[in-house]
Amino acid sequence: MPEGTGIGASVRRREDGRFLTGSGTYTDDINRPGQTHAIMVRSPHAHAKIKKIDRAKTLKMPGVLAVYTGEDMKVGGLPCGWLVKNQDGSPMVEPPHPALAQDFVRHVGDIVAVVIAETKQQARDGADALGVDYGVLPAVVDTRAAVKPGAPQVWEQAKGNICYDWGLGDKAAVDAAFAKAHKVAKIDLVNNRLIPNAMEPRAAIGDFDRATGEHTLYTTSQNPHVIRLLMGAFVLSIPEAKLRVVAPDVGGGFGSKIYHYAEEAIVTWAAAQLKKPVKWTAERSESFMSDAHGRDHATHAELALDKDGKFLALKVETLANMGAYLSTFSTCVPTYLYATLLAGVYTTPAIFANVKAVFTNTVPVDAYRGAGRPEATFLLERVVDVAAREMKMDPAEIRRKNFIQPSQFPYQTPVALQYDTGNYGATLDMAMKMADYKGFAARKDASAKKGKLRGIGMACYIEACGIAPSAVVGSLGARAGLYECANVRVHPTGSVSVFTGSHAHGQGHETTFAQVVADKLGIPIEQVDIVHGDTGKIPFGMGTYGSRSIAVGGAALVKALDKIVAKGKKIAAHLMEASEKDVEFKDGKFTVAGTDKSKAFGEVALTAYVPHNYPITELEPGLEEQAFYDPLNFTYPSGCYIAEVEVDKETGSIEIARFVASDDFGKIINPMIVEGQVHGGVAQGLGQALLENCVYDKDGQLLTGSYNDYCMPRADDLPSFEVQHTDKPTPCTHNPLGVKGCGEAGAIGAPAAFMNAVCNALGVAHLDMPATSEKVWRAANAHMARAAE
Amino acid sequence: MYSFDYQKAGSVADAAKAATGEAKLVAGGMTLIPTLKLRLAQPSKLVDLGGIRDLVGIKAEGGGVTIGAMTTHAAVAKSADVKKAIPALAVLAEGIGDPAVRNRGTIGGSVANNDPAADYPAACVALGATIVTSKRKIAADDFFKGLFETALEAGEVITAVSFPAPEKANYQKFRNPASRYALVGVFVAKTKGGVRVAVTGAGEGGVFRKKSFEAALSKSFDAGALDAVKVDAKGLNSDIHASADYRAHLIKVMAKRAVQAAR
Ligand SMILES: Cc1cc2nc3c(=O)[nH]c(=O)nc-3n(C[C@H](O)[C@H](O)[C@H](O)COP(=O)(O)OP(=O)(O)OC[C@H]3O[C@@H](n4cnc5c(N)ncnc54)[C@H](O)[C@@H]3O)c2cc1C
């Protein structure tokens, strides 16, 4: 293996030169000959009937080529990828989701029409001039308000605004356990709605080739093949062979670029109407009101404990806001990615969760970094702290007492998942040591002397990643498989192109995947090129989300590489006149056991393409292999995060004194990249805990529609995170790399750690996120009033 | 953005002449350009002050400083003259927005814009600054007229802002975590004419003087002097970032901290 570029090496990210010098190619950088520009006309109302659209004035304006509305674009609706069933077995309510509104608009930002002109400026002028006559209807935005009797109805067919009423777990067992509980810890919480805010706004270009009839869509997507499948098969009825989807460099996704969005279908369709390329790039204010939002749960939970602090049972009731339409993965987020994680890292024997998904007149909600798992972790790690408080136990002690022990794996939880490995005590120990947990009392005293309140909080998270075994998700309502594909093309001189169905939008696959290749084939990393993001080049793929790239895409890559080595051995055996079974491959060389015969990988590759001396009757020339990998189980990364904060009672400001992370990601390909992923995730978790909140007014106007009001974390909001990988990793048992995935962990574990620290400082049972200075000030005052009594 | 004409003014007189009707002056553009991008303004012409040399620079005069209208926040923050005469003003400038904003945004633009959460208006009012324009000199007390409203007339160009040096002063800003403007900003100045306290970010009508604080601090320039003074939440902003009650509370906390830190 070349020194320092294989598995386990912190190879510098090969893509960064391109990104940092502005030489990447993002969708908006692409310009097609004869390109026109689209502006989406969006509803200013949260709920209204479209009475009339008058396009006459717009059509007369300079440069305007077309105005299309829902009347014109009569195509299929945007599909939802996951059918969830009600507790009674009936299917969820699945309302239509037209790309261009048909008769009604259901959230601010809903697309009413598209204006296409020769320049963007002309399209904008035309859009401003478009006369849309609305009949405004009452709107509902708040999750809890949506299910109240008399609430405005988003969809006639969804009575009480309920999309589904779903349950998981054994309710009878839970009730029985609660009946004999020593104590019950209760919590009511809101998991705040977030707006994703990828650095690159969404963009899409539709192109149509008159000569071939081929449609091309360039788009900011995390999964171009999925977009081709959904848009081609469900919306526009274009066969795959005539539809190419390209997702070039993509500047961040965090989930928000998984889904098939209306704009993609609109530009693709309009390009075919006009026989001209049509480009759309979101302005930042459009991103706020049209990118799928995240989280937005209202939950009541109760944890039953025995007298020693052992968890007996957990019951959870959650209302999950879907927004106005069902986005691609929306329905599985608060069910199969949430309730299945409610065992956490604990042996709680009985769990029951009831989740009601509700429609509101807001932007659709879908997976956002962590997707369901941050909500589960936040709930669980908060209620465990409430329990510790009530039992007067140390939060570390109560957790340790309830951990699933290393000897218990594989561990079947009461909520469907089977964890393969883990060592939760190890990450807890490590994090406590890193955070000097023992020294906290002294630090708290020192803060008190300065008149400050100090708090420490921990969160022990687990996530189900490496999404997902197709048969399992299929049985749960998924309408797709979740395998991955890799194609390895060895070129005649031994360099390698990998075509992967995983998609990188900042994660560093061009480095990590190349390390796997360099390691397995023993060739220099410079000889390896990772190609992704183009259905015209990649055989197939399900894309990147759910921390699945290395666990599923990487596993597919290993399978394809194994096939390359197997074929290489046959060729080498022929060249060395040896039996195939005596040929070994190591460090880029084929050797014959017990001899000094050897053929380099490059020689074998050349022979495959110049087959003069070749076993031609048994073996085809060429050296290219493909593999699909469908995981046998999810992977289960876990870890412990500890936050320490100091609160200024006078103002309610929070200073983060320390944040430590100890994670178990199993086998790690590139420790530096993994650490970076944790940093990014923790920053987003901190954002959710302390800063970010999407706010609508009661009429459904988005009050946090810009950075003036929506508080994204900035570098100076963040402390220097201390991130370490566990010293006792537990590699995944069922994928060939032993990897678990790391992309979401930070966002999953961090919110609870921060909020546990804040609640600990304030001496309160609970505070909803984000812990703004005013909320903290009010709580601190109440706390001081109590202390004075 | 709508299309507009562009003119680079060669002198203040040029600019004043051009900035009539639907034309608008542009300084750093940090506030104006975003409003243009969102199509919230439709000027026929932008008259750029960027080429007028006389408008840039800081002069130490009579113990105070006079800052040219086109002087950037970054230049004020770095200025040895400002640091010497009114250190609180340099710190205030250093706390505006982010480096990009500080390197483009100007004192003239900030004062002319009179954003209710901007920092400079508090300094101008508390320090008893004079706004110098192409036509006249206006006392800060008479200049700021409410939300985004000033005493400026059409075609009037701010050329400089003159700050007399206080005996002591300090500015305490509690930032809106999202916009980084002041959620509440309190500028306290002990001047020869008495103590002046100006509050930004909190008032429904923009910057205002807190006369009850001034009276208490004129008797005794000590943070404790404010303990007994009540701050009424009436007339204060309530929004998604902070309630009027919280703002009222912060006004006192920030004022006390400013008194303690004043030098
Ligand atoms: C991200 C961001 C963060 C910010 N944070 C803060 C903050 O924390 N605190 C704060 O106080 N400000 C903040 N600002 C505003 C910043 O200070 C601006 O620079 C300032 O408000 C306007 O100055 P400008 O030179 O950019 O003016 P411009 O945007 O060019 O002009 C603003 C207005 O003033 C008029 N104008 C400009 N110059 C003159 C003149 N000489 N005479 C008459 N009229 C004139 C223009 O016609 C226009 O109406 C922030 C801005 C941004 C974009």
DSSP string, A363-393: --B---TTTTHHHHHHHHHHHHHHHHHHHT-
Domain with CATH 3.30.365.10 in chain A: 16-22+483-629, 297-467+633-788
Q: Which residue has the tokens 């026109």?
A: A36
Highest CATH level, class, for A16-22+483-629:
alpha beta
Q: What is the pLDDT of residue B233?
A: 97
Q: In the beta sheet, which residues pair with residue A164?
A: A357
Amino acid at position A284, single letter: R
Q: Which residue has the tokens 């608060």?
A: A334
Identify the H or E element spanning A586: strand A583-586
Residues B151 and B61 in one domain: yes
Q: How many domains does chain B have?
A: 3
Domain with CATH 3.90.1170.50 in chain A: 34-82+97-137+199-252+257-290
CATH architecture of A297-467+633-788: 2-Layer Sandwich (3.30)
**Inter-chain contact A777–B249, Cβ cutoff 8 Å?**
yes
Q: What is the pLDDT of residue A2?
A: 41
Amino acid at position A372, single letter: G
CB contact residues (below 8 A), chain B span 16-55, against chain A: 38-39
The enclosing domain of B148 has a CATH number of 3.30.465.10
Mean pLDDT per block of 10 residues along chain A (789 residues) reads 80 96 97 98 98 98 98 96 97 98 97 98 97 97 97 98 98 98 98 97 98 98 98 98 98 97 98 98 97 98 98 98 98 97 98 98 98 98 98 98 98 96 98 98 98 98 95 92 97 97 96 98 97 97 94 97 98 97 97 96 98 96 98 97 98 98 98 97 98 98 97 95 96 97 97 98 97 97 69
- Contacts with A650 from chain B: Cβ below 8 Å: 253
Q: What is the pLDDT of residue A3?
A: 55
Q: Of B110, B145, B163, which marks where a domain is finished? A: B163
A670 vs A615: CA distance, rounded Å: 39
- Rounded to 5 degrees, φ, ψ at A786 are -65, -45
**B19 is in which domain, residue-wise?**
5-48
Q: How far is A135 from chain B (nearest CA, A)?
A: 25
**Inter-chain contact A709–B179, Cβ cutoff 8 Å?**
yes
- Measured between CB atoms, which of B1, B38, B177 is closest to A711? B177
Residues B59 and B151 in one domain: yes
Residues B159 and B181 in one domain: no
Q: What is the pLDDT of residue A786?
A: 66
A132 vs B175: CA distance, rounded Å: 40
Long-range contacts at A127-130 (CB < 8 A, ≥ 24 apart): A127/A39, A127/A40, A127/A41, A127/A58, A128/B39, A129/A57, A129/A58, A129/A61, A130/A41, A130/A53, A130/A54, A130/A55, A130/A57, A130/A58, A130/A67
Residues B125 and B192 in one domain: no
Closest CA to A706 of A201, A288, A292: A288
- Contacts with A709 from chain B: Cβ below 8 Å: 178-179, 240-241
**Inter-chain contact A772–B177, Cβ cutoff 8 Å?**
yes
Residues B99 and B113 in one domain: yes
Amino acid at position A241, single letter: A
Closest CA to A378 of A707, A696, A758, A722: A758
Q: Of B127, B145, B163, which marks where a domain is finished? A: B163
Residues B209 and B147 in one domain: no
CA nearest to B182 within chain A: A708
The enclosing domain of B22 has a CATH number of 3.30.43.10
- Contacts with B240 from chain A: Cβ below 8 Å: 695, 703-704, 709
Residues B12 and B62 in one domain: no
Residues B84 and B126 in one domain: yes
Q: What is the pLDDT of residue A1?
A: 40
Q: What is the pLDDT of residue A221?
A: 98
Q: In the beta sheet, which residues pair with residue B68?
A: B160
Amino acid at position A27, single letter: T
Residues B76 and B144 in one domain: yes
Tell me how far the alpha carbon of residue B112 lies from the centroid of ligand 1, in angstroms: 8
Ligand 1 site-directed mutation target among B12, B22, B32, most atoms within 8 Å of CB: B32
Closest CA to A374 of A323, A337, A319, A329: A337
Residues B128 and B30 in one domain: no
- Measured between CB atoms, which of B1, B179, B242 is closest to A774? B242
As a dihedral over the C-alpha atoms of residue A721, residue A722, residue A725, residue A728, rounded to 10 degrees, the angle is: -140
pLDDT grade for B193, boundaries at 50, 70 and 90 = confident
Percent of chain B with pLDDT over 90: 97
Closest CA to A288 of A698, A693, A771: A693
Q: Which residue has the least CA distance to atom 1 on ligand 1?
A: B97
CATH architecture of A34-82+97-137+199-252+257-290: Alpha-Beta Complex (3.90)
Q: How far is A234 from chain B (nearest CA, A)?
A: 35
Q: In the beta sheet, which residues pair with residue A245?
A: A217
- Measured between CB atoms, which of B178, B240, B253 is closest to A651? B253
Q: How far is A707 from chain B (nearest CA, A)?
A: 6
Mutation pick from A688, A711, A718 vs chain B, by most beta carbons of B within 10 Å, is A711
